[in-house]
Amino acid sequence: MSKTKNALGPPVVGSDFIGRKLELEQAFHTLLLGNHLRIPAPRRVGKTSFTKALLALAKKQGWKAIYVNVEQTTTEIGFVKALLAAFEDDKSWLTKQFNGFIKGAKDAVSNLEMKFPLGDELPEVSFKWSSPHNTDLSQKLGDILKNLGDCLIVIDELPWLLARLEKQPNGNDRIAELLHWLRSFRQTKEKADAPFTRYIFCGSISFESVTERLNLTKAIADCDTFELGAYPRQEAEDCLVALSNNPDNRFVMSAELRAAVIDYLQWPLPYFLQLLFSRLKAIQEQNGKPATIADLPKAIEKASEHSNLNTWFERLNEQYKPSDERLAKIILDQLCQIEGRSRNQLERLLIKNQVPVEDAKDRTAYLIRSLSRDGYLMETEGQYTFRSPLLKKYWYNNRIK
């Protein structure tokens, strides 16, 4: 019998990956039709786990499956290095020809770094893939990407890299160059029976928020948006049952308690389910008797203090420029203390906090869109509130209490 671990933080694979059967079928069918995907789901919804499950499906179809995480990169050169490392990760399909392509690209990277001896930092000029400095590198990467055959490439945390580039010299131009260069490979015309490469882009901050702010939506317009939300109730139940059925987790959650957990969460992200399971298990071990519904408020309080929820606060710094980060926090600070506010009330809140009247409507609209896309807010009958009661409690406990 498969065992589902109570795992907090890392992506899950194999038997630890619960549900999403319908979403996997829909996403893979979209890829088969010749489309690329971007997944603008909120953080902690399980995007990385989901895309790794898609890569496993691709492998079963005989495709090459490449996963690239660029979270630790800060420049275009860092992006290229991460891409090349991912190509080398699976030795099973690396032919002599491809090893030659990769070596050629690595040599081109080294030559570029010798011309600009700043380690991984590029000079304070716009990085242009078409410039004389980068033509060789671009051609060598083109040799790889154009000859991959049937392939799925997942580029994870690209919005994170874009947000970092934006804060560097000539960041906006460099982001535009990078996105249009990537788009150029996706625009290659394919014959009906020719090998193909499909791309998936995702990240823990919203791709759309970055490209909208920089007027670069066109650069990703050829990628279909694939929505990935919280678990449906039955899959949330299945997740808690699977965790309970693993004796290594040392905690069996009753049906009554499972229902109460899902009722409280309202928006049962996989991570939130794992987190409350962990907190309830700790209470059971501390008390020396089975956890019950009476223990749920204490588990919620402990979960809302958990350091892993800090990413919801920390990501705002990466996602927004400083002025918008300040305003986003002002909005969230108010909404964590009340039941909801209308758009007009939030607009007046921004005006009260030094946003010019003539700019307030657009700034409010932008912040509402981006905070909603990233899972902070939802709208019900004209009122904006926190999407997650757990996240609301975390924000209140850490910012207001």
221-231 pLDDT, tens digit each: 899 999 898 99
Residue 154 and residue 59 share a domain: yes
Q: Say whether both 60 and 131 belong to one domain.
A: yes
The verdict on residue 6 lying in a domain is no
Q: What is the pLDDT of residue 123?
A: 46
Average pLDDT, stretch 285-298? 95
Angle at Cα 144 formed by Cα 138 and Cα 147, nearest 5°? 130
Strands in 223-225's sheet, in edge-to-edge order, are: 64-69, 151-156, 197-202, 36-39, 223-225
Identify whether 1 is part of a domain.
no
Residue ending a domain, among 175, 192, 225, is 225
In a domain, 11, yes or no: no
| 29 token code pair | 């069918």
The predicted structure's pLDDT at residue 124: 41
Alpha-carbon gap, residue 15 to 5, rounded angstroms: 9
pLDDT of residue 127: 56
What kind and span of H or E run contains 200?
A: strand 197-202
Task: Indicate the pLDDT class of residue 10, thresholds 50, 70 and 90.
Answer: confident
Least confident of 79-88, 162-171, 368-377, 392-401: 162-171
**130 domain residue, yes or no:** yes
Assess if residue 15 is contained within a domain.
no
Compute the mean pLDDT over every residue in the chain, rounded to the nearest whole number. 87
> Looking at residue 343, which CATH number applies to its domain?
1.10.10.10
Residue 267 belongs to domain spanning = 233-304
- In a domain, residue 2? The reply is no
Sequence-distant (6+) residues with CB within 8 A of 297 are none
Say yes or no: 38 and 129 in one domain: yes
Closest CA to 40 of 212, 275, 298: 212
- Which segment, 77-86, 125-134, 240-249, 261-270, is predicted with the most confidence on average? 261-270
Regarding whether 238 and 150 lie in a shared domain, the answer is: no
Looking at the fold, whether 169 and 241 belong to one and the same domain comes out as no
Shared domain for 371 and 316, answered yes or no, is: yes
pLDDT at 115 over 70: no
207 and 243 share one domain: no
- Return the pLDDT at 139: 80
The pLDDT tens digits of the residues spanning 306-349 come to 777 888 998 888 788 899 999 999 999 999 999 999 999 999 99
**Cα end-to-end span (Å), the chain:** 45
pLDDT at 150: 87
Confidence of residue 396 (pLDDT cuts 50, 70, 90): very high
Pairing of strands 383-386, 64-69: unpaired
pLDDT band per the 50, 70, 90 thresholds, residue 113: confident
When mean pLDDT is compared across 47-51, 73-77, 304-308, 360-364, the lowest value belongs to: 304-308
Residue 140 and residue 168 in one domain: yes
* Confidence check: pLDDT of 159 > 70: yes
Q: Look at residue 126 in the predicted model and tell me its pLDDT.
A: 46
Prediction pTM value: 0.87
pLDDT recorded at residue 31: 94
Percent of the chain with pLDDT over 90: 52
How far apart are alpha carbons 24 and 398 in whole angstroms?
36
Top pLDDT among 261 and 134 is at 261
Instruction: Give the residue, 195 or 175, on which the prediction is more confident.
Output: 175
Query: Residue 128 has what pLDDT?
Result: 64
Whether the predicted pLDDT of 119 surpasses 70: no
- In the chain, the number of structural domains is 3
182 with 47, same domain: the answer is yes
Residues 383 and 269 in one domain: no
107 inside domain: yes
Q: Which two tokens stand for residue 43?
A: 């953080």
Between 91 and 328, residue with greater pLDDT: 328
One domain, residues 86 and 216: yes
Domain boundary among 203, 225, 247: 225
Q: Which domain CATH number covers 116?
A: 3.40.50
Please return the burial class of 168, using the count of CB atoms within 10 Å of its CB with bins 0-12, 13-18 and 19+: middle
Q: Are residues 165 and 44 in the same domain?
A: yes
Can you list the alpha helix ranges (DSSP code H) found in 125-232? 135-145, 158-166, 171-186, 207-213
Among the listed ranges 52-56, 95-99, 341-345, which one has the minimum average pLDDT value?
95-99
* Overall average pLDDT of the 102-122 stretch: 70
Averaged pLDDT, 345-357: 97
Q: Which residue has the higher pLDDT, 390 or 125?
A: 390
Over pLDDT 70: what percentage of the chain?
A: 92
Q: Which of 304, 324, 343 is the last residue of a domain?
A: 304
Q: Which tokens hold the place of 135?
A: 């033509």
Alpha carbons 316 and 192: distance in angstroms, whole number = 43
Q: Which residue has the higher pLDDT, 202 or 112?
A: 202
